[in-house]
Structures are given as structure tokens and as C-alpha cells.
Amino acid sequence: MAKGNFFSERRFRFMAIIILGLVLISAGCSRDRETYSKTARSKLIQPPKWWEQLPRSIYLRFDKVQTNQSWYEVYQLRESTYAIYEPYQFEEAISYLLIGTDKALMVDTGTGIGDLKKLISELTQVPIAVLNTHIHWDQVGNNSQFDEILVYNSIESITKLYTGYNNSFLKGHILGDSIWKSLPENIDPDTWKIPPVKSTDLVEDGMIYDLGNRPIEVIHSPGHSPDSICLLDKKNRLLFCGDFFYSGPLYAFEEDVNIQDYITSLENLIKRIDEFDFLCPSHNVPWVKSDILLKVQDAFEDIMRGKGRYEESENLRRYYFGDFDVIIRVDMIKEKSEDRSKRDTEIG
């Protein structure tokens, strides 16, 4: 699809979704944030002294790029492909810079703690667009620094981006054990927030965004959130998968998680696994062999069948599978098990 008319035919629908999304902001987004704040301090989610596992050995495989931004570590994964890593905050957020001959694409913008735009100016001078894999706070933190912002065509994406994230929600993420390095001087825990931002256009499943000799395909992959997408760089055989997978505890406990959607998305990605060799997740490590998706599929099957080693606290369970963990609510497992039993009874 030509870049010039990539989005023009959907302008009317875009504005309609914005209007509807603004009506739903108060109810939807505030509920998500309240839920997260109640569970974020569980030791199953954030173990004490989590930073003692750093540095992660995978980064020794890649050339480290020196920049003037001390909050970030930058690694060149392949030619014109950079991982921008934030190791000093618990989320260990990773954004990616993909450079084509005509344009560059920022895949997410991290926590917003560092000066991402200044960093990017040291790496490329071509025009830059941001494409968010979903609209959780640690994917959109620096969106406001950029002029062109693309998100998935959904009410969830538009409303969350328009709302931003206030200080009462964010404060806990940069205090205490959530951080182990001094914050930049311009970040005050008592006032810091992620401002509301308007998306400039929307993307949909199957669309191709061409950076110039580098087409990037959008793959809608709901489950972690309704608006989650993966981005397939077929030329380099890379799948930028956002929070769909990362080496660490997969968050399957939030209110906007849908386990059946996740399993369906997982099946769809596995059908295309011969198109990419590595996953580039948005947390912890930037490089994971694609066959990990098969293990994730087995893991969720085990969880729903009552198998697997886990620790439990209140209504949360953390299942351990070696290369990754899964944190899920107990009630979600029971609901899924009941659905399976009902289906098996109907078939019988």
C-alpha cells in the first residue's frame, strides 16, 4: 500500500472512534489503573532486590552504542536496528528504533523517564514516527516528544492515549525498590506524569508500513490487552512483540487481559513462525528465539489443566517455566477450567 494514502480512507471512522473513546475514558481507564495499583506491590510480581540479576548476559552478544543519555543503554541488534534499554527501573522497558531509507520507526517510547528524542537524534536524522504496540504506561512514556504517533485502531488505544497517566498512578513506579539508580534531574516523583497525547493516525491488522526498503507488517495480537499488536519485519526476520512475550513474568492478571484471546493470538503467530527467527520483546531482553512461542503455548495448556509449579499469594499465582514465568489470577484459571469442562460435557 502506498504511504501517501495509507490512512486517508479511514479519517471519518478515526474521528468517530475518538469521540466515542472520549466518552468512555473515565469509566475504562480509571478502572484499569486502580486494579494495577492494588496488585503491583505483590512480591510475586516485583521480587525484592530484583536488580541483583543484572546485567543480563544476552546484551554481551551485541555492540553497545555510546550516547550522551545515561538513563538508557543502546545496543545494535542488526544493521539499522537498535534496542533502547532502561535497566534502572523495574520494568526494564525496551524500545526499538528501526531505520529505513526514507523514515525511522520508534516501536514504543518506554517509561518517559529519559530524554528519548535527544537520544534518537544521535542515532539517525531521518523523519521519525512512533508506533505503539499497546497503550500501557511503559510503552508510551515519551510519546509526547514526537509529532507522528500511530496506534492500533481501537477505542482502548485512543482513550488511554488521550487520558495519559497521572502522578498518583505513576509515583510508585519510581520510588523505593522500583528503581535502583538516581532519576534524571527533571523527574520529580511528586509531580511526574505522562501527558495526554493525540494519535495522528491508526493502523489495522495486516497493514504494511514501509520505511523505505523495509516493510513492517502490523499483526493484531490481543490477549495481554485488547489493543496489543506485533510488528513483523520480514526482511530481517524479526517480530517486535511488545508485551505479548518477554523473558520474565508474563502479566496475565490485569483486568484488560483476555486469556482466550491470548491463546488464539498465540496460535496465529505460531502458524507464521517460519517468517521470523527472533522475537524482540518490550522488556528485559531484546532477543529471543522464535520457538519460545511453542513453549508458551504448552505452558498455558498446563496452567489451564491444573499442572505446573507455582507460588500463590492472595488471588495471584506465579507459574515457573524456566525461560519465562506466568502471573495469573486464580479466578481466571477457574473460569477457564469451567469453560473447558462445560465444553467437554457438551461434546460428550
More confident residue, 347 or 138: 138
Q: How many domains does the chain have?
A: 1
209 pairs with which residues across the strands? 216
Residue 68 lies inside a defined structural domain of this protein: yes
pLDDT > 70? residue 23: no
pLDDT > 90? residue 141: yes
pLDDT > 80? residue 175: yes
Could you give the angle at the alpha carbon of 285 between the alpha carbons of 96 and 116, nearest 5°? 35
User: Rounded distance, CA 21 to CA 15, Å?
Assistant: 10
User: Rounded distance, CA 253 to CA 326, Å?
Assistant: 9
Most confident listed range (14-18, 255-259, 279-283, 337-341): 279-283
More confident residue, 334 or 84: 84
More confident residue, 24 or 243: 243
Q: Is the dihedral of CA 253, 255, 260, 266 positive or negative?
A: negative
Helix (H, G, I), strand (E, B) or coil at 264: helix
Helix (H, G, I), strand (E, B) or coil at 89: strand
Helix (H, G, I), strand (E, B) or coil at 80: coil
- Predicted local confidence at residue 17, as pLDDT: 52
User: Rounded distance, CA 322 to CA 247, Å?
Assistant: 9
Residue 340 lies inside a defined structural domain of this protein: no
- Predicted local confidence at residue 220, as pLDDT: 98
- Predicted local confidence at residue 345, as pLDDT: 44
Query: What does each C-alpha distance from 183 to 79, 116, 176, 225, 252 come to in angstroms?
Result: 31, 14, 12, 29, 29
- Predicted local confidence at residue 42, as pLDDT: 81
Query: Under a CB-based contact definition with an 8 Å cutoff, are residues 253 and 243 in contact?
Result: no
- Predicted local confidence at residue 147, as pLDDT: 97
User: Rounded distance, CA 141 to CA 109, Å?
Assistant: 6
Residue 335 lies inside a defined structural domain of this protein: no
pLDDT > 70? residue 129: yes
pLDDT > 70? residue 35: no
CATH number at residue 39: 3.60.15.10
Choose among 255, 216, 247: nearest CA to 107.
Answer: 216
Burial class (CB in 10 A: 0-12, 13-18, 19+), 300: buried
pLDDT > 90? residue 37: no
Helix (H) or strand (E) holding 305: none
Query: Under a CB-based contact definition with an 8 Å cutoff, are residues 45 and 37 in contact?
Result: no
241: which 3 cell numbers?
512483540
Per the listing, cell 528485559 goes with 284
pLDDT > 50? residue 270: yes
CA 290 to chain centre: 17
SS (H, E, C) 149-215: EEEECCHHHHHHHHHCECHHHHHHHHCHHHECCCCCCCCCCCCCCECCCCCCEEECCCCEEECCCCE
Residue 231 lies inside a defined structural domain of this protein: yes
Helix (H) or strand (E) holding 334: helix 330-347
- Predicted local confidence at residue 36, as pLDDT: 38
How confident is the prediction for the chain on average, in pLDDT? 88
User: Rounded distance, CA 175 to CA 170, Å?
Assistant: 9
Query: How do beta strands 316-320 and 325-329 pair?
Result: antiparallel
pTM above 0.85, yes or no: yes
User: Rounded distance, CA 227 to CA 279, Å?
Assistant: 19
pLDDT > 90? residue 6: no
Residue 295 lies inside a defined structural domain of this protein: yes
Q: What digits encode the pLDDT tens for the residues 66-123?
A: 999 999 999 999 999 999 999 999 999 999 999 999 999 999 999 999 999 999 999 9
pLDDT > 80? residue 9: no
Q: What phi and psi, each to the nearest 5 degrees, are found at residue 90?
A: -55, -35
The mean per-residue pLDDT over the stretch 325-344 comes to: 72
Query: What does each C-alpha distance from 24 to 17, 155, 326 come to in angstroms?
Result: 11, 8, 30
Residue 205 lies inside a defined structural domain of this protein: yes
> 50 lies in which domain range?
3-306
The mean per-residue pLDDT over the stretch 333-348 comes to: 54
**Virtual torsion, Cα 81, 87, 93, 97, nearest 10 deg:** -20
Residue 333 lies inside a defined structural domain of this protein: no
Could you give the angle at the alpha carbon of 15 between the alpha carbons of 9 and 21, nearest 5°? 135
